[in-house]
Chains A and B, each alone.
Chain A
Amino acid sequence: EPEVTQTPSHQVTQMGQEVILRCVPISNHLYFYWYRQILGQKVEFLVSFYNNEISEKSEIFDDQFSVERPDGSNFTLKIRSTKLEDSAMYFCASSALGDTQYFGPGTRLTVL
């Protein structure tokens, strides 16, 4: 069964460094998303991406964040200058029609 994959599973970085989280959505899906979950808290929406552009972003998704679909299969989330409060589990999700979303296993980001 097709699934969303994410790499790396765990990323440790120093505050102020740039990180790129990678996702491979399910191949025929058209809608892509990033969410994050700070330990012990709700899953929060970050951004949705459709037709090669951002369709919606949350207040969390400020200028430090960017997304890209560089090659038709990967979908990346870049955080330009990480802060301690960016430490969280980051989930990528994809959807064929913009309804049912399939999530990847997540990348645990730890900012020191």
Chain B
Amino acid sequence: SQQGEEDPQALSIQEGENATMNCSYKTSINNLQWYRQNSGRGLVHLILIRSNEREKHSGRLRVTLDTSKKSSSLLITASRAADTASYFCATDRGTSYGKLTFGQGTILTVHP
């Protein structure tokens, strides 16, 4: 698989449930970022976690990073219909001026 691969590819849940998306990568990184994209729209930055961090929180979002397993997870708690979107992880290897390598993304559908 390539740098920044998310799973599952698609996730369908009910409002109020938690959603967990995973991202795996191949090479060492400087940081990993999660983005949201609503259909046909731009990318919204959610959270950045650096290679020396293990967990970060932002509102209903919780991101973990395990550099030994080269993986990250994004947890959205108490999901809402408005969370329906595609979620991407993107890795910065730190070898250039912030070039990001994106995964294929997870399509999250939250049913009201």
Contacts and interface: CB of A to CB of B under 8 A. Distances in A.
Q: Do A and B bind each other?
A: yes
A95 B42 contact: no
B31 A91 contact: no
Interface of A: 31, 33, 35, 42-45, 48, 50, 55-56, 89, 91, 93, 95, 98-106, 108
**Interface SS of chain A:** strand
Nearest to B92: A99
A39 to B, nearest CB: 10
Interface residues of B, number: 24
Contacts of B40: 89, 108
Given A42-B103, A42-B104, A43-B88, A101 B98 contact: yes
Contact of A31 (B97, B101, B103, B104): B97
Contact of A44 (B31, B35, B98, B102): B102
26 contacts: A31-B97, A33-B99, A33-B100, A35-B100, A42-B102, A42-B103, A43-B43, A43-B88, A43-B90, A45-B99, A48-B98, A48-B99, A50-B97, A55-B96, A55-B97, A98-B97, A99-B30, A99-B31, A100-B48, A101-B33, A101-B45, A101-B98, A103-B43, A103-B44, A105-B42, A106-B41
